[in-house]
Structures are given as C-alpha cells and as structure tokens.
Amino acid sequence: MPMVGLGTWKSAPSEAGQAVGYALTKCGYRHIDCAPIYGNEREIGEAFGSVFGGGSLRREDVFITSKLWDTEHARGDVRAACEATLHDLQLDYLDLYLVHWGIAEPKGGHTYDENGHLVVEKVSIRETWEAMEELVDAGLVKAIGVANFTAPLLLDLFSYARIQPAVNQIELHPYLQQTRLLDFCQRLGMVVTAYSPLARPGYEEMSARLVDEKIIRSIARAHGKTPAQVLLRWGIQRNTVVIPKSTHPERIKENIDVFDFELSEGDMHAIAGLERGLRIVDPYQWGQVPYFD
C-alpha cells in the first residue's frame, strides 16, 4: 500500500477526475482514496478509464480504496453498494474496501428525529462485516478494512472476523495524534491510514490552520520544504499512510514530494508538542452522536 495517496473528499466532480489523472500520470501517485459519499466516483472512474484504457498505467499498478456508506450496512445491501462503486469507478475490483463509519443509517442519507438527533438503523457491525468478507470471497475486493473505528469496536470485530481488517483509516495530524489507538491498531497488525493529515486548511468549517504553526514553518524552512510536506513526512515517519486531498496541480505534486528528506528525532518531538486533542471530523457535529466519547 503506497505511503502517500490522493484524497478526494470535497474534490468537486468537475475537478476530481482531472486531479486523479494528473496525480497518476504526472506526479507518480499510485494510491487513490475514494468514497461514494464524496459524490465524485463517476468522474474519477472516467479518469481511471482513460489512464488504464490509454495504456499509460496498468490497473494493477494503482492501489484504489473505496468505502461502504452508512446507509448500506445491511447484509443485503453491501454487495450492491460495492458493485455500484465498481461500476462508477470503471473497475473490476478494489484493492481495499472500508466500512466508512461504525454507524448504520436509514436509506436516503442523514435522517433526524423531532429532537434533531440522527436516526440510526439496528444493523450490527458483525452483519456488515460478514457481508464484507463475502466480497473478498467473490473477488470484488482484495482487502477489507474499517475507518473511524475506536478500540472497543475493533476488539469486538477481532473477536469474530474470519478475514481480519487490514486497515483502520482515522483522523491523524499533530493536533490529534491518537498515539494509543495508533499503537493498538499496529499491534493488531493493521495498517493505519491518516486522514485529514493537513488538518484541512482550505475550508471554513471543520478545518484548522496547522500549516501556519510557527514550529511547522521553522522546521519546513530548515529542510527547504513546505509546511504541508513536513506534516506529511511526520505522518510517514509514524508509519502511517497519508492521503492528502488537493485539486491543485502544484499541491498534488508538492504533497508526494516527501521522500528526499527526513525529520530528526528533535523535529518529531517538537511536532508532537502540538497535540491538542482537536478532532475535526466528528459525528457529534452532524448527528449529536458522541461517537468518540
């Protein structure tokens, strides 16, 4: 699994395909992170179609992830959801398919009761996981994993999983380092992917200006690199896969140019000093579900 992938959340459908095509053919990316809830899998699929169809890369050269959305957790829905993603992405198989959240929701997206609380469906993770395992058996996906799983959810999942989750994709950046969960996942033999590794600097909501931190800027200056490159390198040196999102060509290029320098122990330690427990992506914000409490 390549250590740097291209994220695609909030990549506008009109830009997502171009960004993916550029990343694959001009910048050396070999890993793309997708999800149907991002609303751009069709456009990304067109990019895959032209990159793989045009012969510039082979399908097997690229590691492609997608995710099962919350409304598709029921046993009878999982395969159809995966097939819809494969169809949109113009692929025969995924390298990795993740359960996006440990929350099942009714069809039609977020639904709220009269008190404004998110309505959840009674589908166990076990039911969903068994259907995920069948996707591996059927050859639709090479590996399965989870995203946003906490230690209690993982403990439960590992008690019955016939096929172990290969990956936990979680929010990780210096403001939210989750060191204990990272260690725990690695001890379980899982790869940990860091999402929002730059803390989403470009947005009004759900974002933080970690790239402007004095210490990040000064370490970047010392290495002749950019703040974003320092943040990504920090993630890689923690043995996490990083999946920064951008639709700007110069940033897409910048974000994978992180293999020609190394942060010292002192740099790593100084960056670790930025921990704030600042979680950016939290279902409490959209459903008052205290998922991470």
Ligand X SMILES: NC(=O)c1ccc[n+]([C@@H]2O[C@H](COP(=O)([O-])OP(=O)(O)OC[C@H]3O[C@@H](n4cnc5c(N)ncnc54)[C@H](OP(=O)(O)O)[C@@H]3O)[C@@H](O)[C@H]2O)c1
Give the catalytic positions in this structure.
Answer: 38
| Beta-carbon count within 10 A of 223 CB | 16
Query: Which of 30, 31, 73, 200 is in the footprint of ligand X by CB under 6 A?
Result: 200
Candidates 80-88, 138-146, 159-167, 193-201; binding stretch for ligand X (CB under 6 A): 193-201
Q: Does 245 bind ligand X (CB under 6 A)?
A: yes
How far CA 240 is from CA of 63, 89, 97, in Å, comes to 16, 26, 18
Q: Which of residues 146-175 bind ligand X (CB under 6 A)?
A: 147-148, 169
Candidates 75-83, 102-110, 123-131, 189-197; binding stretch for ligand X (CB under 6 A): 189-197
Are the C-beta atoms of residues 207 and 201 closer than 8 Å to each other?
A: yes
Are the C-beta atoms of residues 254 and 22 closer than 8 Å to each other?
A: no
Q: Does 287 bind ligand X (CB under 6 A)?
A: no
CB of 117 to ligand X, least distance (A): 20
Candidates 55-63, 153-161, 180-188, 247-255; binding stretch for ligand X (CB under 6 A): 247-255
Residues forming a β-bridge with 170 = 194
How far CA 142 is from CA of 132, 134, 145, in Å, comes to 11, 11, 10
Cα separation, 229 vs 232, in Å, equals 5
Q: Does 258 bind ligand X (CB under 6 A)?
A: no
Cα separation, 239 vs 242, in Å, equals 9
Are the C-beta atoms of residues 216 and 231 closer than 8 Å to each other?
A: yes
CB of 194 to ligand X, least distance (A): 8
Query: Which of 135, 228, 230, 236 is in the footprint of ligand X by CB under 6 A?
Result: 228
The residues that touch ligand X, with contacts defined as CB under 6 A, are: 7-9, 33, 100, 147-148, 169, 195-203, 211, 228, 243-248, 251, 254-255, 281
